[in-house]
Amino acid sequence: MIAYVTVGADDIARAKRFYSAILPALGYELEEGPEGLSCVLPVEPGQSPVLPDFYVKPTFDGRPASAGNGSMVAFEARNQQQVRDLHAAALLAGGSDEGQPGFRVSYGPNFFVGYLRDPQGNKIALFSSDPNEPGRDG
Mean pLDDT of the chain: 95
- Confidence (pTM): 0.92
CATH code for the part of the protein at 4-60+67-128: 3.10.180.10
Domain boundaries, the chain: 4-60+67-128
Provide the H-helix boundaries in the chain.
12-20, 80-92
User: Percent of the chain at pLDDT above 90?
Assistant: 91
Nearest to 122 by CA among 9, 46, 45, 12: 9
Nearest to 3 by CA among 47, 55, 46: 55
pLDDT in tens, 39-85: 999 999 999 988 999 999 999 999 999 998 899 999 999 999 999 99
pLDDT band at 137 (very low <50, low <70, confident <90, very high): confident
pLDDT in tens, 112-130: 999 999 999 999 999 999 9
Region 7-17: what's the mean pLDDT? 97
Q: What is the pLDDT of residue 138?
A: 66
CA angle 132, 2, 32 (to 5 degrees): 95
Sheet with strand 112-117: strands edge to edge: 73-76, 123-128, 112-117, 96-103
38 has pLDDT over 80: yes
